[in-house]
Structure 1
Amino acid sequence: YIVAYVGSLQSWKKPEFLIDAASHLDSEDILLLIVGGSPEDLERVKQYAQLRNIKNIEFKGFVEPHMTPDYMFAADLLVHYTPSKDQLLKSYSPIKIFEYMAAGKPILAPRQPWIEEVLRDGETALLFDENDPRDLAEKIKRIKQDKELAAKIARNAKQESQNYTYEKRAEKLIQIIHALNSKGKF
């Protein structure tokens, strides 16, 4: 069972949280696949995993952007993680969530206000406590065991992703501009 994280490993993103979650996965048939990261960041995170003697992780390092969908489609489950301690990140909306949704795979993401504007817990994702790696590990196990829930989340997320295309976002922006213009705000 492959659980993939696709993204950077910069220290502010706290990728060690993923390693800590992997330490709570006692099943040998769950592999955490980490795709991305500069050579320096990758080495730092690998050392963190080695110091904790975590074996159920595979690091791919940086891959060309056109290759990332291959890794997403190969996974059984996709995990997003960015801590929200920084005030700026409380309104941060990475495109990765929309890519994950379009991939048609179940998604796990931290319970954060901006994420809850896009993903619905139990419907388009399972949300976990961003400060609790055990909670993430439990959600991984739950999705792995509950095939019906996994299929529902994947299906709903893929369908919902159609509301976040560039075309749909442009339409919404045009509607906002027209509304502001009609009120004399433009």
Structure 2
Amino acid sequence: MKVCHLTSVHPAEDIRILIKECQTLAKAGHDVSLVVANTDSRSLYGVNVVGVESIVNNPIQRIFKSPKRVFETALKIDADVYHFHDPELIPVGLKLSKKGKHVIYDVHEDVPEQVLSKQWIPKPLRKLISTTVEKVERYASKRFSAVVTATPTISKRFKTYNSNTVTVHNYPILNELIGQASENSNVEKQGNKVIYIGGITELRGIKEMVAAMEKVNSSTEAELALAGKFAPEQLKTELETTTGWNYVNHLGYLNRDQVKSSLSESDIGLVLIHPEPRYVVSLPIKMFEYMSAGIPVIASNFPLWKEIVEGDECGICVDPLNLEEIADAIKWLINNPEAAGEMGRNGRKAIEEKYNWEKESETLINLYNNLD
């Protein structure tokens, strides 16, 4: 089939959209295009990337201006299936559906919950906007050919709107991030390099991570590598004035090869997201990427995460707001390298057996094969 994925928010080389979903469909024999705002047109991973110029200065402008450009470009491609990845493109999906096209809505996040903690939305408006988004998703999803979601929790809601809803977890590609420790079970690391990969924000625990590093270094030498961008940038300026920042190495944004290299040099992976409702039921890719690279995880003690981390014996769960618990977990893993190494190997085994993209891709391909 001729397939066209659409995004007005994500970058051209988004891992879930391009490298996992689009590349999977292209390898399965489909003719795949990806329409992306503000990028150059080119071929990537067997996918025809089509850039759309959309000059906007803030999220509100983007919501109202970008979809029009994306829709115009999508029409020119004249695909059999359109698969879009942003809630602001719901009107585009409805228009394409009315033209007799198969339309798939890919839901990465629980958007109504997400709206409730969006800093750029005035607080008095968040509840109203959240309720409105939920109603729009309910109305539109009934009219789409299918819905793909990133977690079972999100799928549960959408199945009440559209029975053709499937969960395609955002798990790692099996051999993308495997490093020396994973390939050789006899290799033990030094145990003093901690890493965090992803967006760097307050809700994702950056203040607690930096403060915990001060506590760790009062008795045990360790460094925290940060791979990602600060949001807002002033957050970095604020943290640079703290004592904990002396033990931080900010690497900035890393490409996939750099991520693999940084993980291979690291000993502990942190995912200490705050207990917001939408995060408690999420499945953060960074947690599985640490496991894939064969390093132990220190994760927030949400029930769903504990089921994975403690169930597969691949790390330690802590209260993400408790500096003592975070610091103690880091020091324990540093001081117990054999146990830490075993946790890393357990995480890698879990990836190989359960949490990998190769298994998830089968669900995506079957969904496309069964479109009628």
Instruction: Give the TM interval when normalised to the shorter protein.
Output: 0.7 to 0.9
TM-score (norm 1): 0.82
Task: Choose the corresponding residue for 2:339, options 146, 149, 153.
Answer: 149
| Structure 1 CA distance for aligned equivalents of residues 284 and 231 of structure 2 | 22
Displacement of 1:53 after TM fit?
5.8
Higher RCO by CA contacts (8 Å cutoff, separation 6 or greater): 1
Q: C-alpha deviations, 1:58-85, integer Å up to 9, x for none?
A: 111222234211111111211112112x
Matched, 1:75 2:266: yes
CA RMSD of aligned residues (A): 2.4
Displacement of 1:118 after TM fit?
1.9
Quick check: which has more Rg, 1 or 2? 2
Count of residues in correspondence between the two structures: 173
- Aligned residue number for residue 6 of structure 1: 197
Whichever residue aligns with residue 82 of structure 1, its letter is: I
- More strand, by proportion: 2
| Structure 2 CA distance for aligned equivalents of residues 146 and 122 of structure 1 | 18
Displacement of 1:161 after TM fit?
0.9
SS of 1:12's partner is coil
> For the Cα contact (< 8 Å) 1:15–1:45, is it kept in 2?
no
- More helix, by proportion: 1
Dislocated runs of 4+, deviation >2 Å? 38-41, 51-54, 167-174
- Aligned residue number for residue 184 of structure 1: none
SS of 1:109's partner is strand
Whichever residue aligns with residue 68 of structure 1, its letter is: V
Provide closer, same or farther for how the CA distance between residues 17 and 11 of structure 1 changes in structure 2, counting only shifts above 3 A. Answer: same
TM-score (norm 2): 0.43
> For the Cα contact (< 8 Å) 2:290–2:297, is it kept in 1?
yes
Matched, 1:57 2:248: yes
| Structure 1 CA distance for aligned equivalents of residues 244 and 341 of structure 2 | 33
Q: Percent identity?
A: 22
- Aligned residue number for residue 98 of structure 1: 288
Q: List gaps (5 residues or longer) in structure 2.
A: 1-191, 366-372
Whichever residue aligns with residue 134 of structure 1, its letter is: E
Provide closer, same or farther for how the CA distance between residues 65 and 39 of structure 1 changes in structure 2, counting only shifts above 3 A. Answer: farther
SS of 2:325's partner is helix
Matched, 1:119 2:270: no
Q: C-alpha deviations, 1:92-142, integer Å up to 9, x for none?
A: 111111111110112111111221232116821111112201111111110
> For the Cα contact (< 8 Å) 1:19–1:49, is it kept in 2?
no
